[in-house]
Structure 1
Amino acid sequence: MKKLHLMMVRAYLGPLLITFIIVLFILNMQFLWKYVDDLMGKGLPWITVAQLLFYAAASAVPLAIPLAVLLSSIMTMGGLGERSELVPMRSAGLGLFRIMLPLTMTALLIAALSFWFSNNALPLAELKFRSLLWDVTHKKPALNLRPGVFFNGIDGFTIRISGKDEESGELRDVLIYDHRSAFQSDRTVVRAERGRMKRSTDGNYLILELENGHVYDEQAAIGGQRGDRPLLRGRFARDELRLDLSGLALKRTDEDLFKDNYRMLTLGQLGYVEDSLSLKARQRELQEEGHLLASLRPTRPDSIARQLTRSHVVDSAQVARLAVGDPARRSLLYEAASNAVRDNISFLDRMMEDREAKRARIVRYDIEWHRKLMLSFACIVFFFIGAPLGAIVRKGGMGLPAVWAIVFFLIFHIISYSTEQLVKTGELAAWPGMWISTFVLLPIGAYLTWQAATDSPLLDADAWSRGWDKLRARIHNRARTPAVP
């Protein structure tokens, strides 16, 4: 029995590893297609691109594991059925659950490892990935001078060339605008007939060797007043400019700026942050409600008259007019009440916007908390879909199993994405919203397992063909039978 279990595990781990690598590669290519425009033309070193792809692959691991489990389960059990290895096992008195026992234990172990990775390794990978992606997408384009196009990627300079000899590297009609002293209203323009460019030995500077050119330097007016501006004009046969390229280098952002993001937290940290944000939001709501109630508290009608009575100088006629209601005073009171209503409406609008922003932030942490558990549980659900389905279809390889795996994974992914959007908008709670996709597939897995355990010809083409032939024959016989008068 141990040899049988070992054989089953070996037959399962091979397809699992292969399908996991394939799925991870596909998800990584999806990331590359999404950000290819942000990566092109940046002059990134290969080590940076490799790190970015590695961290992107690590971020896709929790989603790749369930699909790999589903596909490898169909391939393993389907291959055993296709090679007629399940028949002698069943003939020896082994039930489907006994045959699937080692694979079930392996699937449970994979689900546990998936949860460990999502809770411990994934936050660190997401931190590295998001910080590096931010730096790459905000990096300036690499130095690329094209004829007729102004290049302003170098801080303080704008360069344009009319032509470039690809063989010798000679530049023709070089025009350079120097903006380094623009805040002082100084303008410097350099124009040369020819030029060459090269990098310094340390690569931090671009050296432009110019020939037969002019320098135009328009300086600010003396005293900072409007008037004539001094213009200096010079001519040179050969000149050399050193341009600082440090602005084109990849500048790394401090990772501490990203560490509080919901993607970079463990399960315990997510729960703690969510509780803290909920408590602060509730305290803020109570303060806002108290402020609103205080502003709406009614004023006694005789308060104005009583306030005037307490003053040092009392005008009895004014007090009488206030008591009976002076028209001018009523107009002022009406205007004051209208202003108070508008202020309260504006306060309510700001309060509702602030509450919605806080709710959306809290929901993000709640979604991520449930996602870590849901994707791990999905590994078990997909196994109990794939293993019995493979035993029923009895087809191995990457053909039919891949089709069934894609169908079920698309159902899972579409439902997961739709319900997650509903959770973000507040139409569904994270529980059970984030679990609906697995709850939909769970009875399907139970039904397929029961069908495979009872040797039901659910997906047997021959059984369906025989049933269709019987149905056609019954309809044909009924049509030929004469009706009894």
Structure 2
Amino acid sequence: MKILDKYILASFLKTFFTVFIILMFIFVLQTIWLYIGELAGKDLDVEIILKFLLYFSPKLVPLVLPLTILLTSIMTFGSFAENYEFAAMKSSGISLQRAMSGLTIFIFLVSLTAFFFSNNVIPAAEFKSINLRRNIAKLKPAMAISEDIFNEVGDINIKVDEKSGDNDQYLTDIIIHKKSARSGNYTVMKATEGELVGSTDSDVLSLVLKDGNYYDEIQPNDAAKRRNKPYAKSYFEEYVINIDLSEFNNVDMEDENYHSTQGMLNTSELRESIDSFSTTYNEQVKVFRESMFNRTGAATLNLNYRPADIDTTSKIGESVLDLYDAQQASQIAGFATSSAEAALSHMNLKKEEFKTSFRQINKFEIALHEKYALAAACFVLFFVGAPLGAIIRKGGMGLPMVIAILLFLTYHFIGIFAKNSAEDGSVSPFIATWLPTAIMLPLGIFLTYRATTDQGLFAFDNLFEPFKRLLKKAGIIKTKDKID
């Protein structure tokens, strides 16, 4: 390796690692801010919190690495141009492509590393982080109670309108169905407010209900009396329910039973899952199609039709129902209406099921292509940043930082919008994943060409030249007389 290549590589690496560490630190802080509600107030050891951040950090690399490469390229080559180092290289016969050749090999290796990292390290970290988050959530029983829906906690089903307090311990408008040895929920409690009292050191959580009513449906042995649905009702100012939390407090932080998201899989596992889901989806569609065809009765139409039983002669404009008497026609119309309504309800239900299955397949396809797109993005963004830095001739953290962030936000937001559209099938997962890189590729080619030919970012003179010629031909602009 020549001295020039060593110098360029050393300058690039110094800036690369500095920018990477700074950006990773910023994104980790943003992660802490995002998940502070899950970590605070649970008496977690420092080791568990550090594990959480360690497992979550690899998922930040697909965001941090492309931005680092783009920003480092702009800063490094902008600094070379600003300090006239490129002018010295060109005067020595060294072109921009030659100056970029050594770094091109390095970026290619970084792209390969990024692929293997996203294919192996990120799935393992996703697996660890999600399981750790589920285990941490068990340390706070209030997290198991969501607002406006029934939640199973211990031996009760509880619904609350609102939670409040530092640890969501205060509840309002509570409805509770108590489980019993009998099949069904026969005991209902309602309270205007309540409070969860307990700690992770105890296996018992006390739910203190205030200002409520207790309803208990009585089940007499006599069937005739049971039809009257007798019940007992009582009012209470305060009522305490003790819930066994042994399954909450005995939490194994190393438990790793959850492994069902696409982020936990590598490329071979994703392909296998996509094939499996696609086969199941196609089979379900086939069964549904056959079921709907059988519902129409078209397959047995000839078996049920007996022309000798009815007079098939009808006049023009008459309905088929006119061949039957009023009672039969009414029965046929009612049966047809109910069959159509049942078929429509069944179709709407299956439509939602198929939509969910199709969305799941798309998510797995997006996760598969993202691993390859990350490697390509690192390579393409280098060829956007390096010539752009040579053109703007500005190093440091000022203008290069602004330009890099604007370009990366454009790249990132295009990817987000495209992937969201791909989940419901509006866009192909392949196109959605590769669209940001495909947009940046022509920009990289354009900038590389402009920087190689010593042209500015935009040649405004070339844009106005056709108008000048037109004005000269019209005589509006006069040309200077040539001096003999």
Q: Residue in 1 aligned with 2:304?
A: 303
Could you tell me the TM-score, scaled by structure 1's length? 0.69
Higher Cα radius of gyration = 1
Within 5 Å, which residues of 2 pair with 1:45-84? 45-84=45-84
Q: Are 1:12 and 2:15 counterparts?
A: no
Q: Residue in 1 aligned with 2:447?
A: 448
* Deviation string, structure 1 residues 282-319 (Cα, Å, up to 9, x no partner): 111111111111121335488377999xxxxxxxxxxx
Q: Residue in 1 aligned with 2:235?
A: none
Within 5 Å, which residues of 2 pair with 1:409-428? 409-428=408-427
Q: Are 1:338 and 2:337 counterparts?
A: yes
Structure 1: tracts of 5 or more residues without a match? 143-152, 157-180, 186-198, 207-223, 228-242, 309-321, 472-477
Paired residues of 1:55 and 1:129 also in contact (CA < 8 A) = yes
> 2:349 & 2:383 partners in 1: Cα distance?
50
Paired residues of 1:393 and 1:459 also in contact (CA < 8 A) = no
Aligned residues: 374
Paired residues of 1:43 and 1:141 also in contact (CA < 8 A) = no
Corresponding letter in the other structure for 2:363: R
Q: Residue in 1 aligned with 2:130?
A: 130
Q: Residue in 2 aligned with 1:35?
A: 35
Q: Residue in 2 aligned with 1:98?
A: 98
Identity of aligned residues (%): 31
> 2:16 & 2:412 partners in 1: Cα distance?
20
Paired residues of 2:387 and 2:448 also in contact (CA < 8 A) = yes
Paired residues of 1:204 and 1:244 also in contact (CA < 8 A) = no
* Deviation string, structure 1 residues 123-178 (Cα, Å, up to 9, x no partner): 10110011112222342179xxxxxxxxxx9999xxxxxxxxxxxxxxxxxxxxxx
Q: Residue in 1 aligned with 2:391?
A: 392
> 2:202 & 2:296 partners in 1: Cα distance?
66
Match of 1:434, SS state, is helix
> 1:88 & 1:324 partners in 2: Cα distance?
99
How far is 1:480 from its partner?
12
> 1:323 & 1:446 partners in 2: Cα distance?
74
Paired residues of 1:367 and 1:434 also in contact (CA < 8 A) = yes
Corresponding letter in the other structure for 1:98: R
Q: Residue in 2 aligned with 1:193?
A: none
Match of 2:376, SS state, is helix
CA pair 396-43 structure 1, distance change in 2 beyond 3 A? same
> 1:418 & 1:457 partners in 2: Cα distance?
32
Corresponding letter in the other structure for 1:268: S
Q: Residue in 2 aligned with 1:329?
A: 328
Q: Are 1:382 and 2:402 counterparts?
A: no
Q: Residue in 2 aligned with 1:257?
A: 258
How far is 1:251 from its partner?
4.1
How far is 1:248 from its partner?
4.5
Comparing 445-454 with 33-42, greater Cα deviation is found at 33-42
> 2:155 & 2:301 partners in 1: Cα distance?
67
* Deviation string, structure 1 residues 243-297 (Cα, Å, up to 9, x no partner): 9998546543742322x31001111211121111111111111111111111213
> 2:290 & 2:302 partners in 1: Cα distance?
23
Q: Residue in 1 aligned with 2:368?
A: 369
How far is 1:378 from its partner?
0.7
> 2:65 & 2:422 partners in 1: Cα distance?
24
> 1:136 & 1:54 partners in 2: Cα distance?
15
Paired residues of 2:119 and 2:371 also in contact (CA < 8 A) = yes
Corresponding letter in the other structure for 1:286: K
Paired residues of 2:107 and 2:378 also in contact (CA < 8 A) = yes
Q: Are 1:352 and 2:351 counterparts?
A: yes
Structure 2: tracts of 5 or more residues without a match? 143-152, 157-177, 182-186, 188-198, 204-218, 221-230, 233-243, 310-320, 469-474, 479-484
Over 6 Å off, 4+ runs: 153-156, 181-185, 224-227, 243-246, 304-308, 478-481
* Deviation string, structure 1 residues 322-375 (Cα, Å, up to 9, x no partner): 997444333333322222212211121122111111100000001111111112
Q: Residue in 1 aligned with 2:277?
A: 277
> 1:327 & 1:112 partners in 2: Cα distance?
78
> 1:305 & 1:442 partners in 2: Cα distance?
70
> 2:82 & 2:375 partners in 1: Cα distance?
30
Q: What's the Cα RMSD here? A: 3.9
> 1:36 & 1:444 partners in 2: Cα distance?
40
> 2:323 & 2:7 partners in 1: Cα distance?
101
